[in-house]
Amino acid sequence: MTPKKDTHVKTIKKILIVEDQADILKLLEIIFKGDDREIHLVKTGDEALAVAREIVPDVILMDIMLPGGIDGYEVTRTLKSDSRTSSCAVIAMTAKVQEQDKQDAWAAGVDEFIGKPYRLDDLKEKVQKFLE
């Protein structure tokens, strides 16, 4: 008798987390870590662009206010205009929650928006939607 082949191939999903606050970055890494996930952590817009172009993540958790001159809006615009990364889902995470801030985020090309402080369950739900 021949053993059955396991035809179920586990797909590894890539999540890029862009957050300048080290404690939040570590917490998000712990929350989203899993056997079927590859987590990448960066703190600046320049790092986000470099890593996203290298790994082409499925989901990017994007802080909007970042150090170093390139904010999350600009990173999102750049990634969405690049054919290699345009399909990456971007979830904006920001304390900037005024109506104009939301309009700026949508105009930059984000796929979802969540205001800080956020409930972790709400963030997990938004991420899961793009991983299915």
Q: Which domains does the chain have, with CATH numbers?
A: 13-131 (3.40.50.2300)
Stretch 26-37: mean pLDDT, rounded? 94
Give CA–CA dist 39/43, Å, rounded. 14
Averaged pLDDT of the chain: 93
Residue 97 pLDDT: 84
Task: Note the pLDDT tens digit of each residue in 64-110.
Answer: 999 988 999 999 999 999 999 999 999 999 998 899 989 999 999 99
Tell whether the model's pLDDT for residue 9 goes beyond 80. no
Overall average pLDDT of the 59-68 stretch: 95
Using a pLDDT cut of 70, give the percent of the chain over it.
92
